[in-house]
Amino acid sequence: MIYGFLYVGMIFSIASLWLFLAVLPKPDFIEEPIEKFKNLLREFLGSKNE
């Protein structure tokens, strides 16, 4: 019985984490470093910014 509750809790936590990271808009203090990192990777890999 306890394993069932732990399983449901694990599924709920993974789903809520996915919802937070993938669906909800990210605040600026998270979005700006991600954009800087993506631009750095683009320059390093040599792809063109169009």
Segment 12-41, tens digit of pLDDT: 999 998 888 787 777 777 788 888 988 888
Using CB atoms within 10 A of its CB, is residue 27 exposed (0-12), middle (13-18) or buried (19+)? exposed
How far is Cα 44 from Cα 50, in angstroms, rounded to an integer? 16
Predicted local distance difference test score (pLDDT) of residue 44: 82
pLDDT at residue 48 tops 70: no
In this predicted model, which residue has the larger pLDDT, 49 or 19?
19
Mean pLDDT along residues 38-50: 76
pLDDT at residue 11 tops 90: yes
Q: Which helix (H) or strand (E) holds 5?
A: helix 2-18
